[in-house]
Amino acid sequence: MDYVAIILLQTAISIANLVLISAGLAVIFGMMRVINFAHGEFLMLGGYTAVIATQHGVPLLVSCFILAPVLVGLVGLVVEYLVIRHLYGRLLDTMLASWGVSLILIGLVTVAFGNSVSGISTPFGSLSIGRFSIGFYELFLVAVTLVMVIAGYLVMRYSRVGLIARATMQDRDMAASLGVNQRAVYRATFVTGAALSGLAGALIAPIAGVVPTIGASYLAKCFITVISGGPAIIAGTLSASGLLGGVGGIMTFLATPVLAEVALLAAAVVLLRVLPQGITSKFFRRSQ
Amino acid sequence: MKTPLVTSGRLGAVAMILAAAWALFIVPSGGDMTLILSGSIYCAFGILALSLALIWGFGGILSFGQTAFFGIGGYAYAVLALNIGNTTTAALLAILVAAAMAAAIGYFMFWGRLGDVYLGVITLVLSLILYRFINQTSGSEWKIGKAPLGGFNGIPSTPILNDLDGNPLWPEDIYVLCVVALILSYILCRLLLATYFGRVVVALRENELRAELLGYDTRLYKLGVFSIAGGLAGLAGVLFANCVFVSPNMFSLTTSSQLLVWVIVGGLGTLAGPVMACFLLLAFSAWLGTLNAGVWLDPNLVMGLVLTLFVLVLPKGILPLMRSGCDRALAAFRRPAPAAEPGEAMIGEEAR
């Protein structure tokens, strides 16, 4: 009984984790059809913001929910202004340039803070079920992810911003001809994606710690989730995270986290053989 | 109009022959050990650059994780050589293993008809996960036959290739082997592109839909060229294993980034460009390392700046730029300037 409960909780945590760290990437991919290779570094910057602010006495939740998204969103704005906006319409060049940006960010953070691991303690204590225990903080992350997804859905479904976003995703030329400013939409998308990544990076920093190159360790999971999910931002991320997070959670329990990642990749490769445009190309097509 | 005697393509060919002759005949007799050791590594990386230049520049297949096959080749060589003892067989088998691995991944990617973005991401993720997987194999339970995988430390006991009497080759011999392998790989790629197969591959790059409508099974051609490039990357891995030893760094994101930078800087759609850029940038970073200029010369920072600037400012790369500059200088030299004919661009294309 304990065993089943813990496996279920562990799976929920691993699914929520995937949703959380992939959300920013999914927003940018869904709107711009570009994979942002600097995604891992946006997560890393969010983590650094949280760690440094907390070490200077800022409450953890303030640095996670306010400082990190704002700061990383600003970094996203700068990157968009200096690099990305010159390359619109050239998908591959955009990806290559974002790879360059990722290396630059790793380099700058290494120069500023050194190549060492730092971290903050995980708050909230832990919940024990029989012989097992799970951190309350991880359950808190599940709740935050849930709120984030619901908020995202409501924004996309009912707000004007969401309407413009859906129109652009469906047919960008038609949206443009109806008076939607494409450049403004792309800029807002990139900044939103960066801010979401900053938030996620800050939230997982207490669990994972931070080091300049930590982005690479999230990258594989995020990329797999987003391309398996396909173009629909919310439905795609949720369905891919559900599937892959389930596989990953069970494999982590049965074997090791690294083998779970290998299984994730194998699952995604087979999935893409069957559904080359991701899950949402065939199912949930009318979703966001 | 007759093709002029001196063209940029011919000048480039002469320069390449001179460079190859210098590397093969003058460097080994010079006895400069540092040059010989780093030259071997440069050539191994040069072959790796060539493999990406082939599939990306000519096949239009964007593989961000070509290092996966580089590492697989190296590891397969080390493991096989430790187990079967005969290093020549191990080297040949390792190249086949890398090519087979590329074919297996290629099957899923090309038969799934994945787009560019997906293809790049899947290949990159493959190399990232191999890196993480090999990194955690430090325990004694992780061994294949007699070969411990060694986790983060790699396999320092990677055997060196043997000569006919079974003695390990000297570094000078390895150097000559690497240079010859690079020259042969280059010639192989050039010949491949001149065949029917190569022409179809270039046709797919230009317009996949049109090639398909003309009756070519594009998946098969893509799989073919991808496997060949995988084998080349595997060869590079085997040579690298002989110059240094195999370690998870062969799969690392740093290696993938470097490779990408070489191809972009050298010029997409050329074979010599990426090899040239590989040599120049490796020498440049070695030189930066000797400067001792403090923290600001972080290698990631420098590489990122180079990559971003080239994509933004000079997306064509150095070699095409040099070529057109050279053509313009030659045209100015041959006054009165001949009127450009439609055929001229084609000649330039072929001389690649």
Report d(CA A285, CA A280) in Å as an integer: 6
In a domain, B335, yes or no: no
> How would DSSP label each residue in B230-243?
HHHHHHHHHHHHHH
Q: Compare A108 and B163 and report the one with higher pLDDT.
A: A108
Q: List CB contacts (< 8 A) between A85 and chain B.
A: none
Containing structural domain, residue B224: 31-258
Strand partners for B144: B147
Q: Cβ–Cβ of B117/A95 closer than 8 Å?
A: yes
Q: Please give the pLDDT value at position B349.
A: 45
ipTM above 0.85, yes or no: no
The answer, for B244 touching chain A at a CB cutoff of 8 Å, is: no
Q: List CB contacts (< 8 A) between B299 and chain A.
A: 107
Query: How sure is the predictor about B152, in pLDDT bands with cuts at 50, 70 and 90?
Result: confident
Q: What is the mean pLDDT of residues B240-246?
A: 87
Mutation target to probe the A interface, by most A beta carbons within 10 A, among B119, B149, B152, B308 is B308
Cβ pair B120, A35 in contact under 8 A: yes
Residues 6+ apart with CB under 8 A from A252: A10, A14, A260
State the nearest Cα–Cα gap between A87 and chain B, in angstroms: 8
Q: Please give the pLDDT value at position B293.
A: 64
Query: How sure is the predictor about B347, in pLDDT bands with cuts at 50, 70 and 90?
Result: very low
In a domain, B20, yes or no: no
Cβ pair B267, B58 in contact under 8 A: no
E strands, B196-345, where? none
In a domain, B338, yes or no: no
> How would DSSP label each residue in A64-119?
IIIIHHHHHHHHHHHHHHHTGGGGTT-HHHHHHHHHHHHHHHHHHHHHHH-S--B-
Query: How sure is the predictor about B70, in pLDDT bands with cuts at 50, 70 and 90?
Result: very high
Report d(CA B205, CA B229) in Å as an integer: 15
Q: Cβ–Cβ of A96/B115 closer than 8 Å?
A: no
Q: Compare B242 and B347 and report the one with higher pLDDT.
A: B242
Alpha-carbon distances of B33 from B41, B47, B280, B282, B288, rounded to whole Å: 13, 21, 19, 17, 20
Q: Compare A268 and B209 and report the one with higher pLDDT.
A: B209
> Which residues numbered 198-257 in A keep a CB inside 8 Å of some CB on B?
213, 216-217, 219-220, 223-224, 227, 256
Q: Cβ–Cβ of A103/B304 closer than 8 Å?
A: yes
Percent of chain B scoring above 90 in pLDDT:
28
Mutation target to probe the A interface, by most A beta carbons within 10 A, among B312, B314, B316 is B312
In a domain, B339, yes or no: no
> Phi then psi for A189, rounded to 5 degrees?
-60, -50
| Whether the predicted pLDDT of B232 surpasses 90 | yes
Q: Which residues of chain A have pLDDT under 50?
A: none
Query: How sure is the predictor about B346, in pLDDT bands with cuts at 50, 70 and 90?
Result: very low
The answer, for A96 touching chain B at a CB cutoff of 8 Å, is: yes
| Whether the predicted pLDDT of B51 surpasses 70 | yes
Q: Please give the pLDDT value at position B223.
A: 93
Q: What is the pLDDT of residues B10-49, one digit of tens each?
A: 888 888 888 888 888 777 777 778 888 888 899 999 999 9
Q: Cβ–Cβ of B260/A258 closer than 8 Å?
A: no
**Domain count of the fold of chain B:** 1
Q: What is the pLDDT of residues B102-129, one digit of tens each?
A: 999 899 888 888 777 888 888 888 888 8
CA dihedral (A244, B142, B237, B116) in degrees, to 10, reads 0
| Whether the predicted pLDDT of B147 surpasses 60 | yes
In a domain, B182, yes or no: yes
> Which residues numbered 91-120 in B keep a CB inside 8 Å of some CB on A?
105, 108-109, 111-118, 120
Mean pLDDT across chain B? 84
Q: Please give the pLDDT value at position B74.
A: 92
The answer, for A83 touching chain B at a CB cutoff of 8 Å, is: yes
In a domain, B170, yes or no: yes
Q: Please give the pLDDT value at position B55.
A: 92
Max intra-chain CA distance, chain B: 75
CA B325 from chain centre, in angstroms, equals 26
Q: Please give the pLDDT value at position B181.
A: 92
Least confident span in A128-137, B150-159, B231-240, B249-258: A128-137
For residues A32-42, one letter each, b for 16 or more C-beta atoms within 10 angstroms of the residue's C-beta and e for the rest, the string is bebbbbbbbbb
In a domain, B88, yes or no: yes
In a domain, B36, yes or no: yes
